[in-house]
Amino acid sequence: MQNILITGGAGFIGSNFIKHVLDNTNCNVVNFDKLTYAGNLENLVDVEFNDRYRFVKGDICDKEDVLKAVKEYGIDTIVNFAAESHVDRSILGAKEFINTNVGGTLTLLEVLKEQGLSKYLQVSTDEVYGSLPEDRPEIKFTEQTPITTNSPYSASKASADLLCNAFRHTFGLPILITRCSNNYGPYQFPEKLIPLMIAKALGGEELPVYGDGKNVRDWLYVDDHCSAILAVLEKSRDGEVYNVGGNNEWYNIDIVKLILKKLGRPESMIKYVKDRPGHDRRYAIDSSKIMNELGWKPAHVFEDGIELTINWYVENENWWKKVMSGEYLKYFEQNYSAKMH
């Protein structure tokens, strides 16, 4: 692994991963990103003049774009983060999710096959496993849990995983898949729970909690997801699937209350709103395979990770205020106006 094409590198996890790779390997990195509403080159100002970093504006659905970058930079490895990533947006409209998450993945797999690249890693999600019962805490998602797709987003991600399996099985290609739980940390777009609640609390606005607030998510600090992906790239056999999680389940409402407490704001700012349609009740990941086989473990405990994250949003108000404008305001109105009444 020498020259890595990181697709979706201007988004939340991709930009954190680029910095993680530059800090922890000698590899050259090409960030290949379409710069949708979620892509932001400001996430990468620290590395923009690094000799081992290049940015290419391109679309993973456009094979010519991808081939050009692969040939120009002698790419041997692709790590695919590029996706439409927000469940609520997939409920408002699924088409872009299918185009990018399924069609884009197919394009990358065709390039992998035709160019004979040495490795491909698909960054997938625990959402492909559906939802867990809340009264059976001993049950978690393992790599053997059947695929069950409950939102258009999860259906698009699962379809991409199935294409990866098919290309690996049929053509013997070197394909890996990781399925991670909910990430949090710096540079997360403030449409997702934790940054949205921090931004609302800092802005003195109501914090919209879906349903009864008792849905459970398993939170992992973003840099721990990055170290897991790097461990899989460096140490795994081809063809493996690895779950990645924080062993860190929280009710949404408790996360929201914790954020308010840390920011010194009152719980009266919480507004229970109409639930997300088809809302998955509980996610929890069994990470024993990656821990036992590859020796990965998270470096951050939640108490420290959430502190780092809240402080980052407090100190980087310009970053999130800028992205919460324009198209974001239209989306916010569309997603929340019906829920608030």
Contacts of 239 (CB under 8 A, 6+ apart): 168, 174, 175, 176
Say which entry of ligand DAU, ligand NAD, none residue 59 contacts (CB below 5 to 8 A, set by partner kind). ligand NAD
Q: Inter-axis angle of helices 152-171 and 105-115, to 10 degrees? A: 20
Shortest separation between residue 92's beta carbon and ligand NAD, angstroms: 15
For residue 172, the tally of other CB atoms under 10 A from its CB is: 11
- Taking CB under 6 A as the criterion, the residue among 85, 227, 236, 243 binding ligand DAU is 85
Residues near ligand NAD (CB under 6 A) are: 7-8, 10-14, 33-36, 38-39, 59-61, 81-83, 85, 100, 104, 123, 125, 157, 180, 182-183, 189
- 153: annotated active-site residue: yes
Please identify, using beta-carbon distances, which residue of 76 and 96 lies nearer to ligand NAD.
Answer: 96
Is 236 a binding residue for ligand DAU by CB under 6 A? The answer is no
Please identify, using beta-carbon distances, which residue of 20 and 217 lies nearer to ligand DAU.
Answer: 217
Using CB under 6 A as the binding criterion, the count of chain residues that bind ligand DAU stands at 19
Q: Which two tokens stand for residue 258?
A: 């914790």
Say which entry of ligand DAU, ligand NAD, none residue 7 contacts (CB below 5 to 8 A, set by partner kind). ligand NAD
Please identify, using beta-carbon distances, which residue of 4 and 209 lies nearer to ligand DAU.
Answer: 209
Which neighbouring-strand residues pair with 28? 3
- Taking CB under 6 A as the criterion, the residue among 17, 53, 97, 283 binding ligand DAU is 283
With 0-12 CB in 10 A as exposed, 13-18 as middle and 19+ as buried, what is 26? exposed
Please identify, using beta-carbon distances, which residue of 87 and 132 lies nearer to ligand DAU.
Answer: 87
- Number of C-alpha atoms within 13 angstroms, CB side, residue 288? 5
In terms of Cα–Cα distance, which of 29, 98, 26, 99 is closest to 61? 99
In terms of Cα–Cα distance, which of 101, 99, 9 is closest to 57? 9
- 206: annotated active-site residue: no
For residues 280-316, one letter each, b for 16 or more C-beta atoms within 10 angstroms of the residue's C-beta and e for the rest, the string is bebbbbbbebbbeebebebebebeebbeebbebbeee
- 238: annotated active-site residue: no
Is 127 a binding residue for ligand DAU by CB under 6 A? The answer is yes
List residues near ligand DAU by CB under 6 A.
85-87, 125-127, 181-182, 192-193, 196, 208-210, 215, 217, 252, 276, 283
Catalytic residues: 126-127, 153
